[in-house]
Amino acid sequence: MGTLDRFSVSPGRRRRDRIARSAILGATLIALVPLVLIVYYLLRKGLGSWSTSFFTTDPTGNTFFKNSSIGGIKSAILGTIEIVGLASAMAIPVGIAVAVWLVEYGKESRFAQTVRFGVDVLTGVPSIIFGLFIFIVLVVGTGSTYAAYKGSCALALLMLPVVIRSAEVILRLVPPALRESALALGAPRWRVIFRIILPTALPGLITGVLLAVARAAGETAPLLFTAGYTLKSNFNLGQFMNALPLQIYYDVTSPTTSIEHRAWGAALTLVSMILLLNVLARLIARRSRIG
């Protein structure tokens, strides 16, 4: 034992080790504090304003009266589903198609690298800039005003890089042997893509897509100057449309106490929807055979 003492860690070093480790643990706990606080306040304030009528009535323009007369968030929920649905219908097929091209045709060519660079650029663009782009092209460009489908276009642009990059990662994981055996059996390339590669990658693709949808559902900035804002529920994508993030934003910026309650209730609804998509994405990812 006596000889081993020479190798033992001196008290000073031991103390420093303990201090550093507790500091790291402390900082980690600090990182969790905001999450706890946000979830706690969302539940406390949000659940308080949830009721059946909260989900089944449109918001009214009233701001100065009690809860009963300010209305609920029906049009916001419907609007979010419609706008994000249309955005997904545009971004998902295009995004997966570009990813297929990158993996199956473009590969490491210079052109493919340029496309990847372009997608990276899109990833980094602040979401409000997408709103400006669509405003220039579809509002100024057509000489008309806001409409729900223009909001969808802005969200689709935002989703596109997320879908492309996640799909590319998954498609790369499809074993080359599968592709090569199909080609060796004489299957044409398009059939290999549609019958072998896409089905094999499907669970992973769905995961990436759901995460992109979740991200788009929470965005406010691209909708501000594209989708407009209205109180009434409607199913016409050519008209102004409400959306949950818009409803929350306008409620926050013109606050009276009852309006603040509506904002918390809407926020809890929005976060629940997004979390649901995230959980779904993770469950599907677990079932994937590749990756």
Window 231-250: residues binding other proteins (CB under 8 A) = 245, 248-249
Per CB under 8 A, 107 contacts other proteins: no
Interior angle at CA 33, CA 29 and CA 38, nearest 5: 155
Smallest gap from Cβ 115 to other proteins, in A, equals 5
End-to-end CA distance of the chain: 50
* Smallest separation, CB 266 to other proteins (Å): 9
Nearest distance in Å: CB 192, other proteins:
10
Report CA-CA distances (Å) from 255 to 58, 62, 118, 123, 265: 18, 12, 41, 33, 14
Across the chain, how many H-helices and E-strands are there?
Answer: 13, 0
| 85, 137, 175, 195: which one binds other proteins (CB under 8 A) | 137
> Would you say 148 and 238 are in contact if contact means Cβ atoms under 8 Å apart?
yes
Cβ partners under 8 Å of residue 101, min gap 6: 112, 115
**Residues 134, 230: Cα–Cα separation, whole Å:** 19
Residue 103 engages other proteins in binding (rule: CB under 8 A): no
CA distance 264 to 72: 12
28 is a contact residue toward other proteins (CB under 8 A): yes
* Residue selected from 25, 43, 89, 283 as contacting other proteins according to rule CB under 8 A: 25
* # chain residues binding other proteins, by CB under 8 A: 87
Residue where the block lists tokens 């300010």:
70
The Cα 209–Cα 91 span in angstroms is: 9
Q: Which is nearer to other proteins, 125 or 202 (CB)?
A: 125
Q: Which of 122, 183, 196, 285 binds other proteins (CB under 8 A)?
A: 122
Q: How far is the CB of 94 from other proteins (least distance, A)?
A: 7
Beta-carbon count within 10 A of 110 CB: 8
Query: Minimal distance in Å, beta carbon 74 to other proteins?
Result: 19
Q: Which of residues 150-209 bind other proteins (CB under 8 A)?
A: 160, 162, 165-166, 168-169, 188-190, 193
Within residues 46-85, the interface with other proteins by CB under 8 A covers none
Least gap, CB of 164 to other proteins (angstroms): 8
Window contacting other proteins (CB under 8 A); options: 53-61, 81-89, 110-118, 195-203: 110-118
Instruction: Please name which of 238, 79, 241, 88 lies closest in space to residue 158, comparing C-alpha atoms.
Output: 88
Q: Which is nearer to other proteins, 87 or 98 (CB)?
A: 98
Closest separation between CB of residue 133 and other proteins, Å? Answer: 5
Taking the C-alpha atoms of residue 220 and residue 155, their distance in angstroms, rounded to an integer, is 10
Considering only residues 55, 65, 111, 235, which one is a binding residue for other proteins as defined by CB under 8 A?
111
Tell me the C-alpha distance between 149 and 285, whole Å. 31
